C-alpha cells in the first residue's frame, strides 16, 4: 500500500470510515475520515490517533512507513473519542513515547485511560518541540471545540495540524482538496464544510474569529491545513480560512428555509402555501420536512438561510416531538443573526406555535410575529393568510439581511 505523503516526510496515516452514518447523533451521509499524521525526522512524531475501531488500520499504515516502536513523540491535539481512543494501542508499540497535550487534555485523558506510566508533557501556546530539523509550535485553542483542544504548527514545512477545525465529514479516496474537487465538485466540498460548521462549530463563531486573528497576528505562513476529518487543504488553504471567517461572522444567503413536520398534512399544506409566498417575493425557499430529513441536515438548511419559518402541529397541547427535538438541538448550537417565525395547525386548544416562539426568544433570535395558526385544516381563507405570511416574512428577511 502506497503511503500518502502530505508534504516533505509528513504522512497521512489515518482511516476512512465509509460506513458511518450516525456520528454521535449527527447524520453523516458522506461518511468521514479520522486523519492522523506521522512526521519523520530524527525523532519521529505522531500527530493524533484515530477512533478505536480503526486502530488496526492506522497501525498498518504506520508499519508501511516505519516500525511504530521508533515513534518518540505523540502530539494529542484533541482528546475526543474519534481521535484519542487509539492512544493505548500506539503506546503498546511505542511505550517510551512522550505525549504532548494541554493541561486540560491531561485532566481529561485520565477519564478515558489508566494513564499510570504514561509520559505526559503539558504544553501551552508558544511552546515548541524540536524533533530534528523540524519544529512543532503549539497553540492552545480552548473550546475549539473542546476545552482541551489545540493546534500544532510545523514551522519548517508550514503545515497547520488543526484537529477538528476546518474538517468535513467526507469519506473519499481523495485525501486533498484539489483531488476531491476534481473527482466530485467544489459545490459538494462547500456543502460538506457548511454541514460540519453548522452542526459542530456554530456556537463558536466569536472564538473562531479570535483564534484565526491570533494565528494571523503571529504571521504564520500556512501552505497546508491538515484537519482530523476529511480532505487536507493544500491547493488554497486561505480559501477555507476565508470561508470560516465568513461563517463565523454570521454570513447567510438572503433566502428562506421552512422546517416543518405534520400529522395529517394540515401543517404541510400551510408550509406549501407559505413557500409560494416566499418564492413570489423573489427569495429562494427550501422546504424541509423533519421526519423525512435528518435533524443535522435541517440545521444546515437553517444555517444557510437568513430566515427560517418553523411549522409545528400541536400534539397534546405542546409542540410535535420532532420540532421540539430540532429546537433543543438548535438551542445548543447558539445560533445568531437569523430571523425566525412559526406556524402550525391545531385541533384542541393549540399551544405549539406559542411554545416555538418562546424557544426562539430563549435563543435570543429575532422573531417575526405573530405566527399563523389554523384550526384542523386550512380553508380557502387560510391559504391566503399563509401566502401573505410567507410573503411578509420574506420581505422582512430582505430588510434584515441588509445589516450584514
Ligand atoms: Fe472529531 Fe471533536 O472530534
- The closest-lying atom of ligand 1 relative to the alpha carbon of residue 163 is 1
The sign of the dihedral angle between the CA atoms of 297, 144, 14, 236 is positive
Distance between CA 362 and CA 357 in Å, rounded?
8
The CA dihedral of 155, 221, 246, 360, to the nearest 10 degrees, is 20
Q: How many residues belong to the chain?
A: 404
The CA dihedral of 269, 272, 277, 279, to the nearest 10 degrees, is 180
Catalytic annotation on 82? yes
Q: At what angle do helices 266-280 and 380-401 cross, to 10 degrees?
A: 50
Catalytic annotation on 73? no
Say what the pLDDT of residue 349 is: 86
Say what the pLDDT of residue 38 is: 98
Say what the pLDDT of residue 364 is: 97
Can you give the pTM of this predicted structure?
Answer: 0.94
Q: Is 82 in the pocket of ligand 1 (CB under 6 A)?
A: yes
Catalytic annotation on 169? no
Ligand 1 atom 2 nearest Cα = 80
Judged by DSSP in three states, 10 sits in strand
Say what the pLDDT of residue 174 is: 97
Q: Which of 89, 114, 118, 117 is nearest to 101 (CA)?
A: 118
Centre of ligand 1 from the C-alpha of residue 50, in Å = 10
Q: Is 229 in the pocket of ligand 1 (CB under 6 A)?
A: yes
Q: Which of 139, 15, 140 is nearest to 82 (CA)?
A: 15
Say what the pLDDT of residue 1 is: 76
Centre of ligand 1 from the C-alpha of residue 384, in Å = 47
Centre of ligand 1 from the C-alpha of residue 149, in Å = 9
pLDDT in tens, the chain (404 residues): 789 999 999 999 999 999 999 999 889 999 999 999 999 999 999 999 999 999 999 999 999 999 999 999 999 999 999 999 999 999 999 999 999 999 999 999 999 999 999 999 999 999 999 999 999 999 999 999 999 999 999 999 999 999 999 999 999 999 999 999 999 999 999 999 999 999 999 999 999 999 999 989 999 999 999 999 999 999 999 999 999 999 999 899 999 999 999 999 999 999 999 999 999 999 999 999 999 999 999 999 999 999 999 999 999 999 999 999 999 999 999 999 999 999 999 998 889 999 999 999 999 999 999 999 999 999 999 999 999 999 999 999 999 999 98
Say what the pLDDT of residue 200 is: 94
Catalytic annotation on 164? yes
Q: Which of 17, 27, 41, 82 is catalytic?
A: 82
Ligand 1 atom 1 nearest Cα = 164
b or e along 196-215 (b: 16 or more beta carbons within 10 Å of the residue's beta carbon)? Answer: bbbbbbbebbebbeebbeeb
- The closest-lying atom of ligand 1 relative to the alpha carbon of residue 228 is 1
Distance between CA 187 and CA 178 in Å, rounded?
13
Burial of 189 (0-12, 13-18, 19+ CB in 10 A): buried
Say what the pLDDT of residue 25 is: 86
Distance between CA 321 and CA 315 in Å, rounded?
8
Amino acid at each position: 500500500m502506497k503511503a500518502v505523503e502530505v508534504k516533505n516526510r509528513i504522512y497521512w496515516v489515518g482511516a476512512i470510515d465509509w460506513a458511518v452514518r450516525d456520528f454521535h447523533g449527527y447524520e453523516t451521509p458522506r461518511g468521514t475520515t479520522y486523519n492522523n499524521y506521522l512526521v519523520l525526522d530524527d525523532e519521529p512524531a505522531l500527530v493524533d490517533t484515530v477512533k478505536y475501531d480503526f486502530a488496526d488500520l492506522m497501525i498498518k499504515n504506520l508499519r508501511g512507513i516505519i516500525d511504530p516502536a521508533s515513534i518518540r513523540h505523540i502530539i494529542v491535539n484533541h482528546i475526543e473519542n474519534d481521535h484519542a481512543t487509539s492512544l493505548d494501542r500506539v503506546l503498546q508499540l511505542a511505550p517510551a513515547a512522550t505525549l504532548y497535550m494541554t493541561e486540560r487534555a491531561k485532566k481529561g485523558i485520565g477519564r478515558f485511560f489508566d494513564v499510570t506510566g504514561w509520559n505526559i508533557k503539558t504544553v501551552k501556546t508558544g511552546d515548541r518541540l524540536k524533533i530534528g530539523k523540524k519544529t512543532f509550535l503549539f497553540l492552545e485553542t480552548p473550546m475549539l471545540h473542546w476545552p482541551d483542544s489545540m493546534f500544532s504548527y510545523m514551522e519548517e514545512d508550514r503545515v497547520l495540524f488543526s484537529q477538528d477545525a476546518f474538517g468535513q465529514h467526507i469519506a473519499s479516496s481523495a485525501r486533498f482538496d484539489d483531488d476531491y474537487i476534481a473527482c466530485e465538485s467544489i459545490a459538494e466540498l462547500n456543502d460538506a464544510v457548511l454541514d460540519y460548521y453548522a452542526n459542530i462549530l456554530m456556537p463558536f463563531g466569536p472564538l473562531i474569529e479570535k483564534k484565526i486573528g491570533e494565528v494571523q497576528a503571529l504571521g504564520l505562513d500556512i501552505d497546508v491545513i491538515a484537519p482530523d476529518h476529511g480532505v487536507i487543504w493544500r491547493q488554497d488553504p486561505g480559501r477555507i480560512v476565508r470561508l470560516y471567517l465568513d461563517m463565523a461572522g454570521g454570513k447567510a444567503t438572503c433566502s428562506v428555509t421552512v422546517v416543518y413536520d405534520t400529522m395529517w398534512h394540515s401543517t404541510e399544506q400551510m408550509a406549501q402555501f407559505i413557500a409560494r409566498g416566499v418564492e413570489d417575493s423573489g427569495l429562494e425557499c427550501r422546504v424541509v420536512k423533519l421526519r423525512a430529513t435528518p435533524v443535522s441536515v435541517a440545521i444546515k438548511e437553517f444555517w444557510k438561510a437568513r430566515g427560517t419559518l418553523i411549522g409545528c402541529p400541536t400534539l397534546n397541547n405542546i409542540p410535535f416531538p420532532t420540532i421540539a427535538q430540532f429546537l433543543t438541538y438548535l438551542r445548543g448550537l447558539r445560533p445568531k443573526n437569523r430571523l425566525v417565525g412559526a406556524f402550525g395547525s391545531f385541533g384542541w386548544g393549540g399551544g405549539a406555535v406559542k411554545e416555538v416562539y418562546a424557544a426562539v426568544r430563549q435563543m435570543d433570535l429575532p422573531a417575526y410575529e405573530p405566527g399563523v395558526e389554523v384550526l384542523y385544516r386550512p380553508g380557502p381563507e387560510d391559504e391566503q393568510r399563509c401566502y401573505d405570511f410567507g410573503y411578509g416574512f420574506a420581505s422582512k428577511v430582505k430588510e434584515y439581511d441588509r445589516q450584514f
